[in-house]
Amino acid sequence: MKLSAPVYRLKRKARTLSRTEGIPLNLALDRIAAGEGFGAWSLLAAKSADGSAARELLARLIPGDLLLIGARPGHGKTLLSLQLALEAMRAGRPAVFFTLEYTAGDLLGRFRALGVEPAQFQALFTFDDSDAISADHILRALADAPRGTLAIVDYLQLLDQKRGNPELMAQIRTLRAFARDKGLILAFISQIDRSYDPAVKPCPDLDDVRLPNPLDLSLFSKACFLNGGEVRFQAAG
């Protein structure tokens, strides 16, 4: 489906709509996307994404990094994570996706929406939707992963859901030590607190990460935040 204008112009149009009608930017983006024949801005972004942000992000990462990817719902954090996995696999590196939010079919469909046939990366991609996802589970699943493997956890707050799991701070410390010892890259998709106001701050940052329980965010070495089509990189640790 051909867009009526380049994505950057559509974003600009959405910002104008947001200001003139006094509606949140995410609603304005969805309205612009609907006019282009898409159900949501995230679907339009997936169709038109060129992967440049993911390539830039991957170039910033080194073995042992813990990455935080934060955005409000519908602003592209899962899309960026999948593009990051694709870029890693294109470089010949394995990628693992831990999630309770999506099925394997959902992710395969998203890869195809990006113009990629998942079968070409079958030997490099692992999907894990175990109900037992926690630091201990991730350690077991990645015990034999080669150096440089990228693992994505969807999402950070998921590790904090079961009472039987260690506290979130302890889990992240364990995973940080594991990533450094094995030379892995662990990326955590994160929810953003509802108090975040894009009218005050164009893009969320570490102060806006939703934390039901205490967590020292300096345990992460790098962070990336998205809002309204903007992508901002930030040092964390």
- In the chain, domain spans: 7-48, 52-235
124-140 pLDDT, tens digit each? 999 999 999 999 999 99
Tokens of 91: 């470089």
**Class of 52-235 per CATH?**
alpha beta
pTM above 0.95?
Answer: no
> Rounded to an integer, what distance in angstroms lies between the CA atom of residue 32 and that of residue 50?
19
Find the length of the chain.
Answer: 237
Which pLDDT tens digits describe the chain residue by residue (237 residues)?
577 886 768 888 988 999 999 998 888 988 998 998 888 877 777 666 667 889 999 999 999 999 999 999 878 899 899 999 999 999 999 999 999 999 999 898 888 878 788 889 989 999 999 999 999 999 999 999 999 999 999 999 999 888 889 999 999 999 999 999 999 999 999 999 999 998 889 899 999 999 989 999 999 999 999 987 788 998 887
> Over the stretch 158-171, which tens digit does the pLDDT of each residue have?
998 888 899 999 99
**What's the pLDDT score for residue 46?**
66
Peptide bond before 155: cis, by omega within 30 degrees of 0?
A: yes
* 125-128: strand order across its sheet: 125-128, 95-99, 150-154, 185-190, 66-70, 222-227, 230-235
Distance CA 34, CA 125 (A): 32
Q: Which of 61, 102, 54, 62 is nearest to 81 (CA)?
A: 54
